[in-house]
Structure 1
Amino acid sequence: MLKLIRTFKTKTSPLVISEEIKQALNDKKPIVSLESTILTHGFPYPENLSLGLEFEDIVRSNGGVPATIAFIKGVPHVGLSSDQISYLTENCKSAVKVSRRDIGHVMANKLNGATTIASTSILSSLAGISVFGTGGLGGVHREGQITMDISNDLVELGRNPITVVCAGPKSILDIGLTMEYLETQGVYVTTYNDDGSDKVEIPGFYARKSGVKSPNQFTDFKDVADVIYNQQLLGLESGNLVCIPPPKDIAMDSDFINKIIEDANEEAKEKGIKGKDITPFLLLKIGEMTKGQSLVSNREFVKNNIKYATEIAKNLSSLEYSSLQPVDLCRQSEIPTDEKVVETESVTKEVDTIVVGSVALDTISKLDTYHMNDSNPGSTRTSIGGVGHNVSLATHYTGGKIRFVSIIGDDLTGKSLKNMIEVDNTLFEKPGSTASYTSIHDTTGELVIACADMKIIETDFSHDIIQELDRYKPKNVVLDCNLSVDTLQKIINHASCNLVIEPTSVVKSKRIGELKLNVHESIELITPTINELESIYETLESREMFDDEWFEIIDSLELYRIRDILQGGMIKKLYDQGIVQKAFKLIPFFNNIVIKLGKEGVLCIGNTQSKFLQTKSQFPFYIEYHPIPEQNENLQIVNVTGAGDTFLGALMSNLHLPLKEAIHKSQLCSGLSITSEDAINSQIRDV
């Protein structure tokens, strides 16, 4: 079996799929389609706007990605922005109710269009979305065997591989005939048995029972996902109807609602109302006779159905990840018999560390001669880089269970980088240029100057990142300071795991100092150079973070004991420079500070109460100096670009070791990368 890749039926499709939905399809996240007719024809403005946003929030809060579907000025959209939802709901009176027959007309005349169950099913299927949450299904009208008044909803369920989750056919319909018609169309129908009933009936939208026995029933939403998944394996093109009985506290009495419907039908006959006018007339009469209760119930049913639709989508997403599947179910017969099997990544795969940061196209030039303000001969090579990518690759090479999360542009560079990343990853594609890094190195390999274009990584995509954190629930999150302050802050506020920040550069390390950090709610680890440490310290000091109360906190660390461990050498040297003192003043914010000293080694300072790094000390703090290993002396330097990234990546893989051993291994790995043209030397696997 081969990997499932959702494809469009035509390369020139005018269908516009939002960037969020494209990425969710690519990552096989659980997506739930939402119709728009209920917003334009069900509720007035601005109630319809708040409802549209609330429906999307229900999907998100339950772990899914919402895809509201509509036509905006004739263009079919799958996945609306909040601004588009606002525009559509504000202009609801001019929006056309769109079924299959109306699609071409709406597009040709550039009209706003609200999608019914039928058209939502069509556009969802074209986009590759399998689950759709809505209110009530259309069907066969009463006396439909005479009038032939049958909703296109039923026909589209037979044509499209979509699972519609609803509160059953609307009570104004002939539910028995509706079930017969769905059987003819090959549609699988099942009902949620939420109360352990012996006899499960199809719900009648407003009422929990209709008097019509459900063909199937379920108690676990995974069972529904199993059905959908197995239909996909065979490439079946028909859909499913999943009925959710309305909650008991808002459901209406069957006899009460049926009497209202019978009276309304009689009145419609007397007035000669039929065809497309019958449904709005009946719903209006029901609203009047129930004194608005039907409208309230309708709204609550939709919310309930959307929540359960998300559960089905999540279970289906897990199944799609957990096994190998066909390349294109719609074109399975075209797959060559010698096609290689490609294994998909499991959604439940254990992830210890998520690295969030930059991925970039690196252009590295090394000079043969070095003359400023002049052209110099040398060599240039390009590769994939970025601090976040490099750290994740180093973690991967050294055995860490890692996932990399980043953002790329919709340009050729971004498309190329997608196929080059070795690490399990989630890349969010946004309009713009993919990040790039250009560096110039002297004849020894030391960095002379570099230009980093990281504008795209500085956009706020914290919502996407947080979804990934909630999905994988890692033990550790590593953030690089190419991320904006807003993005860093939102992740810090949300995450409940160990947080590590790589300062990245002197300029960008200031972002750490700009964060709203609470004492004793610390970041577990930062890994600055001396210059980056001073930048963080100065930024916090300029914000007057070190006030009078601060000294009480510092005193609690018993720093007067530092003289007991000042034995000369590098620690004494750094103390005399004021580096040690500045680091200690930062400890209440950052439990562990690992200062990279280049060829001088590493200085570690931290809080012994933190269990993140395996340290031992008789004091409330620890301070350890680690010179470079003998193996790293007199190395032939080729490229220092990835030295710090390699160090941090290897450290993340060795957190289980005592600090001395973890630092030693990380230094050895860093030394190997220095001797390689690649930013991260694959030979670190052997350390």
Structure 2
Amino acid sequence: MIAWNAVAPWRRWSGGRSIGALPLWLRRSYGLSSSFLKVSEEVQDAVVAGRPVIALETTIYTHGIFSPVCLDYAQILLLINSGVHRGGEVSMDISADLTELGRTPVTVISSGCKSFLDIPRTLEYLETQGVCVGTFADGRNGPIDFPAFFSRESGVRSPRVIQDEAEAAAIVHAQLKLHLSSGIHFANPVPEQYSMPKYEMDEVIAEALRCADLEGFHGSDNTPYVLSKIKELSGSRSVAANKGLIESNVKRATKVAVELMKLEQSFQRRPDQIEQNLGGVGHNVALAASYVGSSVAFCSVVADDLNGQAAMSMLRREKLNTMGIQILPPMLGLRTAQYIAINDRKKNLVLGMADMGILELSDRDLSFDTFWDPIFMRTKPDWLVVDANWSPGVLARWVTSARKHGARIAFEPVSTTKATRIFSKISTPAETTAVIDFSDSFPNHLIDLAAPNSMELASMHSAARDAGLFDSSGWWHVIDGLGMSNAGSRERLISVTSKSLVDQGIPQQSIQLLPFMPCILTKLGSQGVLVSQLLQPNDPRLTCPDAAPYILGRAPSQDGLVGGVYLRLFAPDQVLTGEEVVSVNGAGDTLLGVVIAGLARELGKNEERRLENIISVAQKASIKTLKSPDSVNADIKNLAMLFK
């Protein structure tokens, strides 16, 4: 029994001690000190500290199947010998344990119910009591049987298959969070080497039940007699099976307890770790680019409220150029955008909540023509980095304005949902268009570079496919011009990236998107960054021996639109441990900001040949941000010299 609040590292206990676990309802009724119960000090300490408590309950000793043995485990579980007896529909002989399991929030791990019980009716009764029942796959695939104690097979399908201890722990965790009053039963099949064939056990059980009926053993006397008879008829093989399943269940319950401990610890919240930073994708990219020496104008919109005023003050302290910040008056009733990220102890994002309504305003409401377009005319930027927090209409205006004034465009997708905005339809009184449409393929592309993570890439790919862009003549013209053969393509992709990435379809998706955004940097976390790029016919990498392993396709002639495809997986500069990571929220933005800063420095030079070196610097910057509580680590300023 895994006590419902339990999970903790195990320790060795002396085999002769009697150990119990107190579920919450019992602790509330009697407490840990009671004249009715004796609880060891070690168990009391574990319960109070919230460590895992696993209890062994079994009648196989008292029923005489074999003498008690010392298993030398502290991990102790509940072995269930209960069920609906055969003929229970007439006799109503149903173990009280089943009813108790339906009203007590505990988790029971056993090797099923005894073979001589009515397994289908036992499962039906558990379902009636609201008990979740599942069976560990234990290396098997597809549907499996609910085990019959001595046998792995029973002929009765399990209601659910549990793949491993982590899945079991997740079910227990969900049950606790939902405050359900019923329990859970996980069936753990007897180890294969101890399992007795079903047909053989059926014969033994039939004879044991016949003898019990003949000699008049009924009610509470039935089970001890039947177990003893099974031992006799099986030549004591049932004893070996019992010992094997006890040890297996002990180990299984321990592993579930450990996984539950990990899961609960990851969801713990500590108020002293709440931090507030000025963030947002656009801000983080702009700040990272400015830290490594680029001249940056940050364009956004805030409300004239406390958060907006605080944001403007922080921007000034960061020395970011705020001429592109539009401040909306209070009369509009809008709020400055906010984002709350909840991370687990490994710093992975668990939950994100955002109030981004102010960025959903139309281009007319935001006075795009009179506020931001003149800034483009005055500053003449080399690059525009636009993120998908803007509405599709405003996103289209940013792209159009940048192209009009000769700026290159980088796209940051932000999330799987917002990533699709780049392909979303925009309806106006005159027409319905999209930011990227059929005619926007290379060399007339609008987006020069995109920086999605793997999930955002998949979302973008699906949106482009659903929009019919992969059926357009412009897309086919570019793809056909690459001269890529289907023969051996999977093996070639694996050699350049990895089998895992190819199985996920990541390099395939990025290549198919290249006609609409000819450079894609897919951020893969601990796996690094995958660079996918269309090469122009005169790109020196097409003839460079060092680049040859990464040239995936070459155009048959130098007279076409494209020269080939460059595909390269850049391993991370450093792999951090969980303890070294402080925050993951700005690492990808830092990488993109440094990349754009590097490309801006090389504009008009040999920028294509410099991308490899720029990625390397950007990865170093990303690592620094991972180690910092700030959205962008100011220490990346020291990396600016690497661009020189």
Structure number having the greater strand percentage: 1
Mark the structure with the bigger radius of gyration. Answer: 2
* TM bin (shorter chain): 0.3 to 0.5
**TM-score when scaled to structure 2?**
0.47
